[in-house]
Chains A and B, each alone.
Chain A
């Protein structure tokens, strides 16, 4: 049975996420933890650097949004600036050229938005400075920005009649220092122990083949932990020096889901364990179903070729991992908005490729991105509460907060924008003159390649199906706009929601209140996610993977 490895990995994720979630709750509420000895002086110094004499004051929603926008705009400018001038900057042993403006824009937006869509190959296109200084920095802080957004929403539920929702800089600083830094050090050491590359040497030419080099393991570690997914090398987790052994594959698979799952536990610590348990169960339920679906499709729906053991489903997969672990990794990394890949999705069976695509199209809420996954899930929770809350004869409320018109407006923005923009940009791409030349396939599979690319950018996942050359002016520009809008509009909408909810009174609960911590609610939530989330993409999926599946038979 190949399933024992799936069970082990899921078991490790669940087992580790619980203590991690408790730790997260302590850190993010400013309690002393065992790492405080090391990091508190650094934390204080950062606040002083930002101009605060002591721990910064809480912000209003408006201030919080302004901080997000300012921080992200500066990040974008810095990343673009370095990429477009890397040729003249130090740490460039492989003599990478300056990145053209459209690719620089796309890449900068991609890393600032926690997407890590890569229309380049790291070993040739990027200098070490670009990779380990600017892109890696974004891997840390873009994840922390997501968590700041999540904490703003949580404040909305946990605070009563409050004008403030915490401080953006405090959230980002604490999460980076106390959580991301230590975890990525540990994971880097684990990857290096398995043979991952970590140096500043130039690529080696061995027997006519370029053996890539560089500070790869540290960048890959944070890109897994922070739901970024961008590889130092173009082949991502399929590259030998990123993921050398079965054991490294195990660590890395766990690392993908660890923080998004831990944040759900943290949510439970902050607003009520049973509430979080329902969300965790729904997320885990969808994840497990998706893993089973992808794995079964890869195992049984590949075409068998006479004289070859196994099926064509082995195409594009690393033999170290085989079918099972490839299906598992790519399901995990699309459920979580990670986007790293350890196999070629283009070669997956049509239905095996449909499931990762659908996981992204649901809006990256099955654990999802660090921070963004849970606030995305909360927007679906509010939608469910709104519809089902009415059915018990009361105006809707969640965690004691009434959900009124303004709140629905914000929820609607967060839910509406990603599918609308994903579909629109896919439509632009398929109508683009000469688009066929950048595809390796035509017909339904070719459509899948484009749909996957824009679903990935439009939900800040960043994983690539392959088979579609993304580095062209139109895709770079449309993609950058798409990634920017689908990250920041929902993020800002949810922060505004949090600020509005924080101002409200906490309603008393009674037997007439819709309970949101029951099995019935979990089923309802699951149903609403699938119905609303999937209905949007069913026609496109029918024309892509489903037609692909039916015509290939």
Chain B
């Protein structure tokens, strides 16, 4: 209901002029209205008045339907924006002055550079960067994700968003945005479509549509002199302004013209539903074009830390002894690697030893100098560490280093793992194999990646690992290519190299050192958990911070473009049937023999023109759902996609209007239109 009201409200000239195709219909409707009113007042042409009014009304309906499509699309965005607005109201902030005293101000008064104190239970007043403290923050207001996230000073998890709530501890936050320009504000604007600008491809398509409209305008306008040349008396009967306006509106690409901006808006809101915020529509179009996905190994493909996967005891050492030594030496190792050794030992050898069972343990923590860690229990010294450091340690104690340890270590490295050697009292017991673990569920997500390969999109993993390890992980995860031994700066170089070769590159990033690469990439998705620098450099922000979101972003981009193309094709192919309906109707008065062109056997010129015009108006309503949810999207090669869309929207666009116009004609005949 609200949408209908909005559709009527959009009938203002300054709104209509923005859509040139529909503006032509709009002007036609006004013109006919004026003529109808004049005819009614002056009492001329009374016998055709009913028919002319009918045409005028259908033209107005066409304008309203186009407005309605816009209103519906915008309405969906508004609903999303409403929920965000709730968390935007001004809150009390504790601003710290130069002496460190807290002064209470409202969030609207905060300036970039101000420092505020936020304690548990309070709302963060404005976007900023944590400069002191660590806290759990509830970001569900923007992400919809209820589990809290950790925000801490320094590093890549330092940015906080206004409107989110601190759950524990307290933070000092340096404000980075002004009231009304915060991340949340931008997001609301974007989703509401208030700041929506036409995207490059939309502009190009608009040019094409305007061109077609101009051509048809001339085609229709010249019909008047042409038909008068043929038979001026008969022309006066059928070549009326109302009929010419009807022909023009039918021929002009009104279907796509009416739905074009709705397609754009709903593409944006589909992306928002995936919890991704695009800073511009241009980025969504670029997502459709992307053919390289650059994926960070760490965090995206693997869990980001190595896990113990096997114990390899030296000949003569029992598996149990090795597992026990490994467990003991890792007892105090709180790193994920250390914990994974403990877990593996407990699982494989049913060890139940715990710290409390030990008598006077002296833990030796990991140090950069020795690159080993372990424990001394009375006279027993347990150590574990990298192969070369342990070898050095063993030899320095005058003990012997078994050749078997070296061969184990090499074998593990070759398979993409990392070896750790375990010793007890200067005797090598065996080797632990650590391995990067591909994230659970990654394969499922990467099945989607395989599908993308059919669409010509290549996935490239980027990692600091050596080529051997990188190759092993790439094969396991199923990515197409990898770049090994990468340093943070290499991302930028890699992107530039691909772009130079004519590729469009998408990447995700969260760290400050990702920012240059994000700025260079064609589709740059910054994680919401990332730093302010990363978020500023990216052209999209993923509120879920999911590295594999790229796949969905590409799908949204492609679907948007496909929908645009499919409906354009449909709109243009429709013209064929409309010509066959209207032209015989217009010209049969001039040359009765032209009746043979009316092979649809439409009842009369009036029913034919009304039926075509009705079809033209109602098809807009009929296609609103397609514009909103997009055409059917499947991961197929270009050739198959084209074939499929052509079949539905090309061939369908030729046939459907013939059928529907005939049906409308029959209905009009039944209700007594002659």
Contact = CB atoms under 8 A, between A and B. Distances in A.
Interface string B613-650: 00000000000000000000100011101110110011
Q: Which 3 A-B pairs have the closest CB atoms?
A: A390-B565, A510-B456, A512-B456
A408 B593 contact: no
Nearest to A421: B218
A388 B562 contact: no
B638 A392 contact: yes
Given A390-B562, A390-B565, A539 B226 contact: yes
20 contacts: A388-B642, A390-B564, A393-B561, A393-B562, A412-B207, A423-B219, A426-B222, A427-B225, A506-B502, A508-B291, A510-B455, A510-B456, A511-B456, A512-B638, A520-B639, A535-B575, A547-B230, A550-B593, A550-B596, A551-B593
A465 to B, nearest CB: 16
Interface in B548-604: 557-559, 561-562, 564-566, 568-569, 572-573, 575-576, 579, 583, 586-587, 590-591, 593-594, 596-597
B207 A391 contact: no
B638 to A, nearest CB: 4
B163 interface: no
A547 B565 contact: no
Contacts of A505: 499-500, 502
Nearest to A553: B593
A388 B211 CA distance: 18
A539 B223 contact: yes
Contacts of A392: 562, 565, 638, 641-642, 645
Given A431-B229, A505-B499, A508-B291, 10 more contacts: A390-B566, A392-B562, A393-B455, A393-B561, A393-B562, A419-B219, A511-B454, A512-B456, A539-B587, A547-B590
Contacts of B594: 542, 546-547, 550
Interface of A: 383, 386-396, 400, 403-405, 407-409, 412, 415-416, 419-420, 423-424, 426-427, 430-431, 443-444, 446-447, 505-515, 518, 520, 524, 527, 531-532, 535-540, 542-543, 546-547, 550-551, 553
A547 B207 contact: no
A505 B499 CA distance: 9
A443 B230 contact: yes
A543 B558 CA distance: 44
A511 B593 contact: no
Given A395-B561, A542-B587, A550-B596, A512 B457 contact: yes
Given A393-B562, A405-B200, A547 B638 contact: no
Interface string B21-54: 0000000000000000000000000000000000
Contacts, number: 206
Contact of A551 (B201, B218, B591): B591
Count chain B CB atoms within 10 A of each CB in A390, A508, A532, A547 and give the residue with the most: A390
A547 to B, nearest CB: 4
Chain B contact surface mostly? helix
Interface of B: 200-201, 203-205, 207-208, 210-212, 214-216, 218-223, 225-230, 251, 285, 288-289, 291, 453-458, 499-504, 557-559, 561-562, 564-566, 568-569, 572-573, 575-576, 579, 583, 586-587, 590-591, 593-594, 596-597, 633, 637-639, 641-643, 645-646, 649-650
A390 B500 CA distance: 24
Contacts of B215: 416, 419-420, 536
Contacts of B590: 543, 547
Given A408-B207, A531-B575, A540-B226, A387 B569 contact: yes
A392 B562 CA distance: 6
Contacts of A514: 638, 642
Contacts of A431: 225, 228-229
A513 B504 CA distance: 12
Contacts of A524: 646
Contact of B229 (A387, A412, A447): A447
Contacts of B558: 393-394
B211 A387 contact: no
Contacts of B502: 400, 505-508
Contacts of A412: 207-208, 210-211
A535 B573 CA distance: 11
Contacts of B559: 393
A420 B455 CA distance: 40
B218 to A, nearest CB: 5
A466 B73 CA distance: 57
A439 B454 CA distance: 62
A393 B564 CA distance: 9
